[in-house]
Amino acid sequence: MVLAFQLVSFTYIWIILTPNVCAASNIKMTHQRCSSSMKQTCKQETRMKKDDSTKVQPQKYEQLLHIEDNDFTMRPGFGGSPVPVGIDVHVESIDSISETNMDFTMTFYLRHYWKDERLSFPSTANKSMTFDHRLTRKIWVPDIFFVHSKRSFIHDTTMENIMLRVHPDGNVLLSLRITVSAMCFMDFSRFPLDTQNCSLELESYAYNEDDLMLYWKHGNKSLNTEEHMSLSQFFIEDFSASSGLAFYSSTGWYNRLFINFVLRRHVFFFVLQTYFPAILMVMLSWVSFWIDRRAVPARVSLGITTVLTMSTIITAVSASMPQVSYLKAVDVYLWVSSLFVFLSVIEYAAVNYLTTVEERKQFKKTGKISRMYNIDAVQAMAFDGCYHDSEIDMDQTSLSLNSEDFMRRKSICSPSTDSSRIKRRKSLGGHVGRIILENNHVIDTYSRILFPIVYILFNLFYWGVYV
């Protein structure tokens, strides 16, 4: 009976407690589910708030600047007075100057200043707002272009180099970093002793002077340059700003701004590469005046070498220059120097011809020409390279110099003894100078003095005119 009573009571307790435990577990699970769902809803709400804030932020700027309320395809103050647009330029570098293409490449900062009351906004601190290139597509900006430009681009590393700053009163600053390649009408009549005047011209493309007034913002101080800006071939003498008007028959008058700069060429490079070699060739051609007039191979080869060298220098200079139809200063110098070299060759041709004519006349009178020029043993050796001991041998040598079969004759030099060699050396050393002076032609004598004097006078005149 006791066991039966215990079993019944245990069963009764189990039946009572089991539903309560299940209810408690269900309550815990529902709490957990509710808390997780609340977290998800909170996260979703925060995300929605962030998305809403990102969407609202640009709309606030557009509303603040009244971009959607105005038509920015029209210029400020349309129908009234022209809008003033101030320009300020800071030159960063002149990248290159090309004589062949007659152009230059320049990198600079171009700044525009104008007022657009449609962009005014209230500001308690009177602070301006700065934007990048994206806002320039939504508002009106001046359409400045570069006259006579060949290539131009706005730098885009790492973003487009455009800055737009709007002030509360509607004043706008637009700054661009630009590289432009433009034409420069060069005059090479004084090259390489020249000075070139180049200019970069700015102008509005669509708006004439009735709609847009272009001017330098700070007058002559509107153009600034880097302190240490230099070029390899030029020295920058001056930078200046000026303005003017340009007329087009179909559209009218336009305001135009000029960035003027003066370039003076460094001449030292051309002195080393062009002038100095030309002077050396001319002086080398004068050496032939001191060579014996009977040394035909020596004087002819020297003259031809100097003429060919001068033609090579002229060709090298012309290859690096544009094909202009007028004489340059370097052309004048090189062609005059070539003329001096050519005249030295002509001078020897005249000397050789007159010598031959004179010998023939003497040969017709006396029947021999051995004593005409007082040829001794040393002279004969200077002519044919061999020493002659007897007068008969020297007469044969003299005759062989003008005979038709001189090229077929073979002279055999056979020194006799050591004492005779010593005598020959002493005789040669003591009489070579006298031989050259006594047997030179009168044309050679005058050419030794006349050619250097005339060339020096030409140099004085040339450098006095062009420098």
* Residue 140 burial (C-beta neighbours within 10 Å; 0-12, 13-18, 19+): buried
Q: How many domains does the chain have?
A: 2
Question: Helix crossing, 418-439 with 377-384: angle to 10°?
Answer: 80
Instruction: Let me know whether 357 and 300 are in one domain.
Output: yes
Helix (H) or strand (E) segment spanning residue 211 = none
Residues of the domain holding 253: 83-265
- pLDDT given at position 4: 56
Which letter does DSSP use for residue 155 in this model? -
Instruction: Let me know whether 231 and 117 are in one domain.
Output: yes
Q: How many CB atoms lie within 10 A of CB 254?
A: 21
Count of residues making up the chain = 467
Which letter does DSSP use for residue 227 in this model? T
Q: Are 258 and 244 in contact (CB under 8 A)?
A: yes
Provide φ and ψ at 123, rounded to 5°.
-150, 120
pTM: 0.68
Handedness of CA 264, 277, 459, 318 (dihedral sign): negative
Q: Has residue 114 been placed in a domain?
A: yes
Instruction: Let me know whether 138 and 205 are in one domain.
Output: yes
Give the amino acid at 93: S
pLDDT by 10-residue block (mean), the chain, 467 residues: 56 55 48 48 50 44 69 86 95 92 95 93 83 89 95 92 93 96 94 94 95 93 88 90 94 96 93 95 94 88 93 90 89 96 93 86 70 46 45 46 46 49 52 52 90 97 93
Q: Has residue 257 been placed in a domain?
A: yes
Q: Has residue 87 been placed in a domain?
A: yes
- pLDDT given at position 230: 84
- pLDDT given at position 61: 57
Instruction: Let me know whether 287 and 180 are in one domain.
Output: no
144 vs 247: CA distance, rounded Å: 16
- pLDDT given at position 63: 63
Instruction: Let me know whether 260 and 283 are in one domain.
Output: no
Instruction: Let me know whether 157 and 274 are in one domain.
Output: no
- pLDDT given at position 121: 85
Domain end among 250, 265, 280: 265
175 vs 89: CA distance, rounded Å: 9
- pLDDT given at position 386: 45
Instruction: Let me know whether 168 and 293 are in one domain.
Output: no
Question: Helix crossing, 296-319 with 329-366: angle to 10°?
Answer: 160
Q: Has residue 428 been placed in a domain?
A: no
Tokens of 381: 């050796």
Give the amino acid at 98: S
Q: Are 241 and 286 in contact (CB under 8 A)?
A: no
Helix (H/G/I), strand (E/B), else coil: 253: strand
Q: Has residue 410 been placed in a domain?
A: no
For tokens 């920058």, the residue is 236
- pLDDT given at position 448: 93
338 vs 350: CA distance, rounded Å: 18
- pLDDT given at position 400: 46
Give me the numbers of helices (H) and strands (E) for the chain, helices first please.
Answer: 9, 12
Return the exposure string of 34-60: e unless at least 16 CB atoms fall within 10 Å of the residue's CB, then b.
eeeeeeeeeeeeeeeeeeeeeeeeeee
171 vs 139: CA distance, rounded Å: 13
Return all residues near 179 (Cβ < 8 A) that are at least 6 apart. Answer: 95, 105, 106, 107, 152, 153, 155
* Residues β-bridged to residue 165: 130, 173
* Residues β-bridged to residue 213: 84
Instruction: Let me know whether 261 and 274 are in one domain.
Output: no
316 vs 314: CA distance, rounded Å: 6
